[in-house]
């Protein structure tokens, strides 16, 4: 039976993907690197350093390890400054309603984000109270598609993987959920999250009612 839910943050609760994109774009401009939305799509759900390596490799650039760390910090400084623009009006449509609904029905809820800035994002949204456990990029060392962040959330919620549903918008995130033995709800197009147990185009459609209807035998 389903007793808990674990949510990805960027692209599920709020659209920070755009702010990540703008920050990487600014860094790429300073480096004279090619970077566009198609490359950015490949960064969805991917950790900061892995993202930087994807952009670097896309440009066939060679960068020393300590310089890579500097560049990651530069991008992060730009991104963190842009988070000040985020407000409680910036939930993706349907996300706040779903979190409220889960609280009302007494489900246990965790965050399972790859971001090291998750706490700041939740503060800006005033969303901390919706989560019993906050798992983020500081909680585990192996990032998605490894299942560690979701296993961390389930363990802290004192639930088994098969008692939890994971919401994810990234290909690597669905891979991580499936690898951990979780039920996965994919948010986004078929070519990205079609391997989830059930897929919705947007959070507005991925209501508790819709999910319960799909996983009838688990509720």
Binding site for Mg ion (CB under 5 A): 8, 10-11, 45, 169-170
The residue among 137 and 181 lying less far from Mg ion, judged by its C-beta, is 137
Closest residue by Cα to residue 150 from 109, 194, 108, 111: 111
Question: In the complex with ligand BG6, which residue's Cβ is closer, 2 or 83?
Answer: 83
Q: Is 116 in the site for ligand BG6 (CB under 6 A)?
A: yes
Which residue number, 113 or 124, has a Cβ lying nearer to ligand BG6? Answer: 113
Residue 176 contacts ligand BG6 per CB under 6 A: no
Name the strands in the sheet holding 133-135, side by side, starting at the edge strand that comes first in the sequence: 133-135, 108-112, 4-7, 164-168, 183-187, 198-200
Per CB under 6 A, the list member of 2, 3, 74, 76 interacting with ligand BG6 is 76
Among Mg ion, ligand BG6, none, residue 103 binds (CB under 5-8 Å by kind) = none
Q: Which does 117 bind (CB under 5 to 8 A by kind): ligand BG6, Mg ion, none?
A: ligand BG6
CB of 56 to Mg ion, least distance (A): 22
Please report whether residue 46 would count as binding ligand BG6 according to CB under 6 A.
yes
Q: Within 1-30, which residues bind ligand BG6 (CB under 6 A)?
A: 9-10, 20
137 binds ligand BG6 (CB under 6 A): yes
Q: Which is nearer to ligand BG6, 44 or 192 (CB)?
A: 44
CA 12 – CA 112 distance, rounded (Å): 11
DSSP lists the bridge partners of residue 199 as 186
Q: Is 108 in the site for ligand BG6 (CB under 6 A)?
A: no
Classify residue 32 as left (phi > 0), alpha (psi -120 to 50) or beta: left
10 is catalytic: yes
Dihedral sign of CA atoms 205, 175, 18, 6 in order = positive
Determine if 134 is a binding residue for ligand BG6 (CB under 6 A). Answer: no
Report, in Å, the least distance between residue 45 CB and Mg ion: 5
Size of the site for ligand BG6 (CB under 6 A): 17
Torsion from C-alpha of 171, 172, 175, 179, nearest 10 degrees = -170
Long-range contacts of 148-152 (CB under 8 A, 24+ apart): 148/176, 149/112, 149/113, 149/114, 149/176, 150/6, 150/112, 150/176, 150/177, 150/180, 150/182, 151/180, 152/112
Q: How far is the CB of 115 from Mg ion (least distance, A)?
A: 9
């Amino acid at each position: 039976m389903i007793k808990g839910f674990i949510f990805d943050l960027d692209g599920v609760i709020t659209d920070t993907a755009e702010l990540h994109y703008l920050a990487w774009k600014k860094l790429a401009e300073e480096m004279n690197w090619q970077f566009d939305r198609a490359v950015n799509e490949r960064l969805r759900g991917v950790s900061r350093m892995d993202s930087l390596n994807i952009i670097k490799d896309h440009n066939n650039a060679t960068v020393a390890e300590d310089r890579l760390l500097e560049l990651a910090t530069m991008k992060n400084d730009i991104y963190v400054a842009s988070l000040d623009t985020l407000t409680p009006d910036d939930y993706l449509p349907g996300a706040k309603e779903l979190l409220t609904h889960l609280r009302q029905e007494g489900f246990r809820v965790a965050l399972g984000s790859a971001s090291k800035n998750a706490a700041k994002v939740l503060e800006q949204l005033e969303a901390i109270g919706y989560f019993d456990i906050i798992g983020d990029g500081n909680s585990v060392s192996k990032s998605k598609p490894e299942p560690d962040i979701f296993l961390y959330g389930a363990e802290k919620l004192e639930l088994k993987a098969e008692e939890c549903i994971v919401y994810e918008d990234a290909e690597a995130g669905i891979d991580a959920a499936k690898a951990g033995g979780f039920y996965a709800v994919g948010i986004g197009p078929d070519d990205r999250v079609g391997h989830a147990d059930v897929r919705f185009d947007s959070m507005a459609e991925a209501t508790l009612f819709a999910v319960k209807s799909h996983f009838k035998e688990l509720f």
